[in-house]
Amino acid sequence: MRKESYEFFERYLNNASPVGFEMSGQRLWLDYIEPYVDDYFSDTYGTVVGVINPDADYKVAVEAHADEISWFVSYITSDGLLNVVRNGFTDHQIAPAKRVNIHTKKGIVKGVFAWPSIQIRNRKTDQGLQVSDLAVDCGCDSAKEVEKLGIHVGSVITYEDSFMVMNGKYYTGRGMDNRAGGFIIAEAARMLKEKKKKPKFGVYFINSVQEETGLSGAKMIAQNIKPDVAIVTDVIHDTQHPNYTKALTGDIRCGKGPVLSYAPAVHRNLLQMLIETAKKNKIPYQLKASSEETYTDTEAFAYSNRGVASALISLPLKYMHTTAEIAHKSDIENSIRLFYEFICTLKSGTDFKYLK
């Protein structure tokens, strides 16, 4: 990986971009992609779009999501502890004793998730841990002290864990879901520019907000852009851990290539074009059958407007929605190549209709 790309990826992952508070990450992403696109814009809720050929009639959406799961302060106790509720589908089981950043107008306030000692607690409760059992200790002894730090109900909380490389080939960090996707599409834009491949259609590189709370950013921007085609990228479970039942989840493994999904929302003609593009360019890929939905922005695009031919390129990921999400370097690189080659292959005006 190019040094500048790697540095951007690290910076982008280490930045906090909680659901609904994505703007600092959007700024980083936009600054990176801007030299590779002709124009850009953002919408009311902060979804950011970099565009190649903004005047073209035929429009291709290339999309990832920018938001990171996190916590909201829900209640401040008289003793100065902060109770929390989820902002996105955050895993409460990993919270105990974790260090956190509480985001305030005055800047970051440090804290830790309170957790009673193993010597004294009733360990029967460990398995039954509820979100309501959690509280953040930010070094205050009263609600008044908490307020003085600028913390209030609705302050957002993220974990501290940062980017790390393991064994030279695995990347781990918070919110790899789906900032890795934002990185992938930005790199595809860079490749197009640097290899002087100018498509004849409009390409809309979209970094959506609020995917984690209902595909909301994608729903809004799909109506705004009205694309003819949409290729979404998101993460997908590596299914090698014994807790997965491969009969249901399939056999997905980090390092074996991006995953192409079959699902009702995934347009088969578009999917077929992706598969052929991968084969022709010797890009490894894995197949997945999604029962009913992909639970990604793919549905948001597919079922928008009057129906948009949509497909999904997924990055295999271990330990999803924890702070130790792990992706394989080669899967990221092969996803970038697949986006790039697909954009080079697609012809303007391609009609994906099943019945013609």
In the complex, the residues that contact Zn ion under the rule CB under 5 A are 177
Sheet holding 202-208, edge to edge: 39-42, 48-52, 202-208, 59-65, 229-237, 309-317, 259-262, 286-289
Q: Under the phi-then-psi rule, with left for phi > 0, alpha for psi from -120 to 50, and beta for the rest, what region is 261? A: beta
Which 3-state string (H, E, C) describes 34-46?
HHHCCEEEECCCC
Q: Provide the minimum distance between the beta carbon of 294 and Zn ion in the complex, in angstroms, as a whole number.
A: 12
CB-nearer residue toward Zn ion: 16 or 76: 16
Report the distance separating Cα 133 and Cα 347, nearest Å. Answer: 55
CB-nearer residue toward Zn ion: 63 or 177: 177
Comparing CA positions, the residue from 98, 6, 85 lying closest to residue 322 is: 98
CB-nearer residue toward Zn ion: 52 or 236: 236
Q: Provide the minimum distance between the beta carbon of 175 and Zn ion in the complex, in angstroms, as a whole number.
A: 9
Per-residue tokens: 2: 């190019």
Q: Provide the minimum distance between the beta carbon of 85 and Zn ion in the complex, in angstroms, as a whole number.
A: 17
3-class SS of residue 62: strand
Q: Provide the minimum distance between the beta carbon of 64 and Zn ion in the complex, in angstroms, as a whole number.
A: 11
3-class SS of residue 190: helix
Residue with nearest beta carbon to Zn ion: 177
Q: Provide the minimum distance between the beta carbon of 11 and Zn ion in the complex, in angstroms, as a whole number.
A: 21
Residue 61 neighbours by CB under 8 Å, 6+ apart: 204, 206, 221, 222, 225, 227, 229, 230, 231, 301, 308
CB-nearer residue toward Zn ion: 321 or 329: 321
CB-nearer residue toward Zn ion: 68 or 341: 68
Q: Provide the minimum distance between the beta carbon of 120 and Zn ion in the complex, in angstroms, as a whole number.
A: 35
Report the distance separating Cα 57 and Cα 349, nearest Å. Answer: 9
Q: Provide the minimum distance between the beta carbon of 100 and Zn ion in the complex, in angstroms, as a whole number.
A: 19
Residue 32 neighbours by CB under 8 Å, 6+ apart: 8, 12, 186
Q: Provide the minimum distance between the beta carbon of 211 and Zn ion in the complex, in angstroms, as a whole number.
A: 7
Report the distance separating Cα 73 and Cα 92, nearest Å. Answer: 14
Residue 132 neighbours by CB under 8 Å, 6+ apart: 83
CB-nearer residue toward Zn ion: 177 or 187: 177
CB-nearer residue toward Zn ion: 177 or 228: 177
3-class SS of residue 308: coil
CB-nearer residue toward Zn ion: 177 or 297: 177
